Amino acid sequence: MANSNLIIPIERIDRLILMIRGQKVMLDADLANLYGVTTKRLNEQVKRNRNRFPGDFMFQLTTNEKAGVVAICDHLSQLRFSPVLPYAFTEHGAIMLASVLNSAVAVHVSVQIVRAFTKLRQAVASNKALIRRVSQLEEKYDTQFRVVFDAIRQLMKPPEPTRRKIGFLVSERPAHYGRSTPSTR
Domains of the chain: 8-113 (3.10.260), 125-156 (no CATH)
Q: What is the pLDDT of residue 4?
A: 42
Q: What is the pLDDT of residue 63?
A: 87
pLDDT (average), residues 121-127: 69
Residue 99 to residue 52: CA distance in whole angstroms: 10
Q: Are 31 and 100 in contact (CB under 8 A)?
A: no
Amino acid occupying residue 78:
Q
Which of 31-40, 74-83, 92-101, 151-160 is modeled with the greatest confidence? 31-40
| pLDDT at residue 25 greater than cutoff 80 | yes
Work out the end-to-end distance of the chain between its first and last CA atoms, rounded to an integer number of angstroms. 101
Q: What is the pLDDT of residue 3?
A: 44
Q: What is the pLDDT of residue 73?
A: 79
DSSP string, 48-91: HTGGG--TTTEEEPPHHHHHHHHHH-GGGGGGTT-SSPPEEE-H
**Arithmetic mean of pLDDT over the chain:** 76
Rounded to the nearest 10 degrees, how much is the dihedral formed by the CA atoms of 47, 48, 49, 53? Answer: 0
Q: Are 76 and 29 in contact (CB under 8 A)?
A: yes
What's the Cα-to-Cα distance from 50 to each of 15, 45, 58, 100, 128, rounded to whole Å?
A: 27, 8, 10, 10, 36
pLDDT (average), residues 33-42: 86
What's the Cα-to-Cα distance from 31 to each of 10, 12, 85, 123, rounded to whole Å?
A: 14, 12, 15, 22
Q: What is the pLDDT of residue 138?
A: 65
pLDDT (average), residues 131-155: 68
Residue 35 to residue 85: CA distance in whole angstroms: 20
Answering whether pTM is above 0.75, one says no
Residue of higher predicted confidence among 12 and 38? 38
Residue 132 to residue 61: CA distance in whole angstroms: 34
Q: Partners of 89 in the beta sheet?
A: 26, 58
pLDDT (average), residues 108-137: 70
pLDDT (average), residues 151-162: 73
pLDDT (average), residues 142-165: 69
pLDDT (average), residues 28-42: 86
